[in-house]
A and B are shown apart, each in its own frame.
Chain A
């Protein structure tokens, strides 16, 4: 039974008071929206930083490789351009050599015809005829062989140079085609006006047409 006179010492009253105090001291339960900041463990964090660094390193590596390839392309481009220029000069030289050889072959053939005719007519004795004939025929064989070899070299090198030419020309193929077509028209006009002879016209025309075909192939 509660002690009504001395309630401070009353066990029932003091138990009740304690419960009241405890209730009051209890923190208020608030429902808040809490942004969850998850503190990751340290090892995991280090691992992540390492991965990011690796990725950056890979980017840098790729950039270096691109630089490397760029500089190789520039080196290739300048080497190939140099090669094409050298080949252009050498081809002209070869065409000149062929013109000289053709002229020589023509002379040898003429001479051979002349001594055969002289021999037939009795104007050239047997010994002289055979000596000169042998000399002329060996000259003909020699120059025909040289001619064939030069043409073979021209064809082979022209074929091999073509792939480099294609690589270098691919970027400017379209504008070049337009320019070449205009040149072709001008050439035809000049020929129609009688300003150039047929051989030169045919030669330059075929050069331009071949170039157009080659560039059209590239552009497509």
Chain B
């Protein structure tokens, strides 16, 4: 490269610097992404925990509403007695559902944003050969078929593996 002169040298040097800068930026981005994704994987558990608690609570409140109505139908409780409780339970369901909706929206937004960065940086970090990825994908299908994993988990992992496979093919 020492033999490059004039404009050629200028262009070469300028772009060498620029590309090095890009490499640095990418490394920095990659490092930061892994760090943020690592923290996200840990902290998302807090949000998931709250979502689970609220979902469980809504499920129970709805069960209580259903049971109360049946108890009125079979004459275990009078309609007047149940009226106030039913109203309170319905209000509670509305209140908790509103909280859950906000929380789920926030969680889903963060999941989507995390996915974007994961797709960018994961292939660089996960160096799995194509045939190995195909084997893992079929193992995932088998475990899902055996009922070892839930549908949500299956879909999430399948999307991750398929993305890696696509990049490996490219």
Interface residues of A (CB under 8 A from B): 92, 95-96, 99-104, 106-108, 110-111, 113-115, 117-118, 121-123, 125, 127-128, 131-132, 135-136, 139, 179-180, 182-184, 186-187, 190, 196, 200, 203-204, 208
29 of the cross-chain contacts (CB-CB < 8 Å) are: A96-B60, A100-B52, A103-B52, A103-B55, A104-B56, A106-B52, A107-B49, A107-B51, A110-B150, A113-B153, A115-B41, A117-B140, A118-B160, A121-B157, A122-B128, A123-B126, A123-B160, A127-B38, A132-B41, A132-B45, A135-B42, A139-B49, A186-B74, A190-B70, A190-B74, A200-B63, A200-B66, A204-B67, A204-B74
Contacts of B143 in A (CB 8 A): 117
Q: Is the interface of A mostly helix, strand, loop or mixed?
A: helix
Contact of A190 among B73, B126, B139, B153 (CB under 8 A): B73
B64 near A102: Cβ-Cβ < 8 Å = no
Of the candidates B41, B42, B128, B148, the one having the most CB atoms from chain A within 10 angstroms of its own CB is: B41
B73 near A117: Cβ-Cβ < 8 Å = no
Contact of B54 among A100, A106, A114, A132 (CB under 8 A): A100
Known A-B contacts: A117-B157, A128-B41, A183-B74. Give 12 more (CB < 8 A).
A100-B53, A103-B56, A111-B45, A114-B156, A122-B128, A123-B157, A123-B164, A128-B38, A135-B42, A179-B75, A183-B75, A204-B71
Contacts of B168 in A (CB 8 A): none
Contacts of B55 in A (CB 8 A): 103
Please measure, in the bound complex, the distance between the C-alpha atom of A51 and the C-alpha atom of B55, giving whole angstroms.
Answer: 77
Q: B136 at interface (Cβ–Cβ under 8 A)?
A: yes
A135 near B45: Cβ-Cβ < 8 Å = yes
Tell me the minimal C-beta distance from A23 to chain B in angstroms.
102
Please measure, in the bound complex, the distance between the C-alpha atom of A132 and the C-alpha atom of B40, giving whole angstroms.
Answer: 10
Please measure, in the bound complex, the distance between the C-alpha atom of A135 and the C-alpha atom of B40, giving whole angstroms.
Answer: 13
B57 near A99: Cβ-Cβ < 8 Å = yes
Contact of B56 among A99, A113, A203 (CB under 8 A): A99
Tell me the minimal C-beta distance from B127 to chain A in angstroms.
9
Q: B1 at interface (Cβ–Cβ under 8 A)?
A: no
A196 near B54: Cβ-Cβ < 8 Å = no
A186 near B49: Cβ-Cβ < 8 Å = no
Contacts of B57 in A (CB 8 A): 96, 99-100, 103
A121 near B136: Cβ-Cβ < 8 Å = yes
Please measure, in the bound complex, the distance between the C-alpha atom of A100 and the C-alpha atom of B60, giving whole angstroms.
Answer: 8
Contacts of B74 in A (CB 8 A): 183-184, 186-187, 190, 204
Tell me the minimal C-beta distance from A129 to chain B in angstroms.
9
Contacts of A117 in B (CB 8 A): 140, 143, 149, 153, 157
